[in-house]
Amino acid sequence: MPTTTGSPTKAKAIFLKDYPEGMPTSSLFEMRDVSVTAPQEDALLLRTVWMSVDPYMRGRMNPHIKSYIPPFSLDHPLDGGAVSEVMVSNHQGFKAGDYVVGFSGGWQEYHVSNGEGLQKVDGGVAPLSAYLGVLGMPGITAWAGMSQILNPVEGETLFVSGAAGAVGSLVCQLGKLKGMRVVGTAGSKEKCQWLEDEIGCDVALNYKDYPDSRALTKALSQAAPKGINCYFENVGGMHLEAALNCIAFGGRIALCGMISQYNNKAPEAGPNNLVNMIGRGVLAQGFIVSNYMHLVPQFVGEVAPLLAQGKVQFRETVYEGLAKAPEAFLGLFKGDNFGKAVIRIGPDRIA
Amino acid sequence: MPTTTGSPTKAKAIFLKDYPEGMPTSSLFEMRDVSVTAPQEDALLLRTVWMSVDPYMRGRMNPHIKSYIPPFSLDHPLDGGAVSEVMVSNHQGFKAGDYVVGFSGGWQEYHVSNGEGLQKVDGGVAPLSAYLGVLGMPGITAWAGMSQILNPVEGETLFVSGAAGAVGSLVCQLGKLKGMRVVGTAGSKEKCQWLEDEIGCDVALNYKDYPDSRALTKALSQAAPKGINCYFENVGGMHLEAALNCIAFGGRIALCGMISQYNNKAPEAGPNNLVNMIGRGVLAQGFIVSNYMHLVPQFVGEVAPLLAQGKVQFRETVYEGLAKAPEAFLGLFKGDNFGKAVIRIGPDRIA
């Protein structure tokens, strides 16, 4: 029989009150009490330990978006990646006390799952929060963009925008491990310092030092004197235009994100030099991580040992408590977060 | 011993007097007398029978271009694809009287070649001029974009901009032969009529009826109700923006040309919706035909029989005489040419 013995009947969850136009503000978010329902047969009750905020969530706040992933509903809690503890299991694949990571379950303290898409994780291999970052969705994104689209070659030059973020910082390190020259951009002096000193970037550019794509092009052409063979795109706008100015013959571009565009009230004009893609034979592939979920075992097989051996580093900006989730999310668009932004929703174990 | 017996010592050739800014004009071109030199050992003297004008030549008129193909020199005749008769051969691969096609030799009545890149052609299979069009560079371009980039699937929708041109009209027909829904754009009512009546397009749109990308998007979404799976890009500008508005999940784009952009004095802002490439997992591959020259035998093996069986049609706009070459070239940017623009430089045979 389904049971919720030992679990609360009410919990907190965050709702979107309305769809934002332009930059979202904290007033759009509201924390509400929701009922915790008992899991049916073959289902689980999960308690969120860590939740993730990621740039793609801004896209889901546009009710008209046509994407692989549907818009958020205003009638349900927001949703997103989370590491949770299994509180009650009526599912034979899981037992109470297991930790699981999934694309669902964030923005709320408890939720019921049918187990689909959940992976068991072990806090002994890496901190649980790492399964939302370097060993989770951002990690797979970085690895898939590199291995499935960019096909990097030793000695080539890799350019990474948003290089100090959860995705970008792993891309940079995978590039260095491959023997590439790596140039990254970030939005502060500290982040650039970290990229050069810890992550191994050959050059890190603070994009705030460059007022336009022309200025960024100049800096980029100095940092990448042989041209850019691979571009991992997280930012869009002047970053893309500058990259296309410096792209090498046969260049590849992994279009992962365009965070500079997500809060535009009206669409912003695109790069004026797409024609370079023709004469230089450039490939651009847009992707979202769910296209590559079948490769998770290969990703884990490659990246987990690198992490264990200290060959890959990661950094987190930790927010405490569900109430901080909107702030963490809004920080994505203000450059507030260094590495992966994660929110601790509850302790690893509750007594 | 090298010899030029029976060949003239002077001939006409067209030079570029200066590099154009913006739309070129006829005053930039000048016909001059040049010496006809005797071919050295292992070389050939060729007499041009047909020459080609193609949009890519505009790119070569920019001295700063960074592309696989270098800019034109002001000190030499212009150059381009031609079908020629071998007048003198000191090369064991060719004999006097052979017809050859090559990427070189246009814009002049005679030229010397070392034989590199020349293919023998036979006026019995198709008119000699067809080797500058459907069986030549534009044909390979169309075929390679389809077979090597777009990977079309029966039942999918193909959108082709510049559909009544030398490349576009073959792309449309290859799409129909594959069982696709085909939507094309062209710049006149007559061209659209031809596309629908003769080429087999399901819908042909006269882009001049649409003032902006919003209007074109509306028409395109009606013509392609299930979205665009494959886009063969010849035009750029509002065509690309409209295509990206209508692109389907997993869409592919072959970036072949952006003729609307070639005469801009300053770069024009690009499409404002590149972000659609991410959420819809879209691939775009820029290419130039020389990347695919190793596939010429496969192209000929597939397209020549289609032509012989009447399953593929082509159309030409013929200009008479070398002096008309600038007019034919300028016509590319004014929509003057229907199908392939070719210039007859001399008779098939001279007595």
Give the residue from B133, B145, B162 showing the smallest Cα distance to B53: B133
What is the tens place of the pLDDT at every residue in B13-67?
A: 999 999 999 999 999 999 999 999 999 999 999 999 999 999 999 999 999 887 7
Instruction: Look up the CATH number of the domain holding residue A145.
Output: 3.40.50.720
> Does A70 contact chain B (CB < 8 Å)?
no
Note whether residue A78 is domain-resident. yes
What is the tens place of the pLDDT at every residue in B199-218?
A: 999 999 999 999 999 999 99
Q: What's the whole-model pTM score? A: 0.94
What is the tens place of the pLDDT at every residue in B68-99?
A: 788 999 999 999 999 999 999 999 999 999 99
Note whether residue B1 is domain-resident. no
Contact A157, A226 (CB under 8 A): yes
Is the domain of A266 the same as that of A158? yes
Low-confidence ranges of chain A (pLDDT < 50): 1-4
Is the domain of A237 the same as that of A329? no
Is the domain of B104 the same as that of B21? yes
Is the domain of B145 the same as that of B286? yes
Is the domain of B152 the same as that of B41? no
Mean pLDDT of chain B, nearest integer: 95
Is the domain of B111 the same as that of B187? no
- Counting beta carbons within 10 angstroms of the beta carbon of residue B286, is it exposed (0 to 12), middle (13 to 18) or buried (19 or more)? buried
Locate all alpha helices (DSSP H) within chain A, ordered by sequence.
56-60, 137-144, 166-177, 189-194, 213-223, 238-246, 276-279, 296-308, 325-331
Region of residue B195 (left: phi > 0; alpha: psi -120 to 50; beta: else) = alpha
Tally of structural domains, chain A: 2
> Does B70 contact chain A (CB < 8 Å)?
no
Note whether residue A2 is domain-resident. no
Q: Is the pLDDT of residue B2 over 70?
A: no
> Does B281 contact chain A (CB < 8 Å)?
yes
Residues of B in contact with A167 (CB under 8 A): none
Q: What is the pLDDT of residue A351?
A: 66
Is the domain of B235 the same as that of B330? no
Distance CA A63, CA A58 (A): 11
Is the domain of B274 the same as that of B286? yes
Between residues B351 and A340, the one the model is more confident about: A340
Domain with B122, as residue range(s), is 10-133+314-344
What is the tens place of the pLDDT at every residue in A212-224?
A: 999 999 999 999 9
Is the domain of A213 the same as that of A256? yes
Note whether residue B111 is domain-resident. yes
Note whether residue A68 is domain-resident. yes
Note whether residue A310 is domain-resident. no
Asked if B273's CB is within 8 angstroms of A270's CB, the reply is: yes
Asked if B68's CB is within 8 angstroms of A279's CB, the reply is: yes
Is the domain of B275 the same as that of B155? yes
Instruction: Look up the CATH number of the domain holding residue B91.
Output: 3.90.180.10
Is the domain of A150 the same as that of A282? yes
Q: What is the pLDDT of residue A6?
A: 63
Mutate one of A64, A67, A278, A280 to test the B interface: name it (highest B CB count within 10 A): A278
Distance CA B99, CA A299 (A): 56
Residues of B in contact with A275 (CB under 8 A): 236, 258, 261-262
Q: What is the pLDDT of residue A2?
A: 41
> Does A204 contact chain B (CB < 8 Å)?
no
Note whether residue B349 is domain-resident. no
Residues of B in contact with A247 (CB under 8 A): none
Q: What DSSP line would sit under A5-32, residue for residue? A: TTS-SEEEEEEESS--SSS--GGGEEEE
Region of residue B281 (left: phi > 0; alpha: psi -120 to 50; beta: else) = left
Instruction: Classify A291 as helix, strand or coil.
Output: helix
Q: How far is CA A64 from CA A18, A67, A69, A70, A73, in A?
A: 13, 9, 12, 9, 12
- Out of B236, B269, B288, closest to residue A279 by CB: B288
Is the domain of B60 the same as that of B124? yes
Residues of A in contact with B269 (CB under 8 A): 269-270, 272
Note whether residue A179 is domain-resident. yes
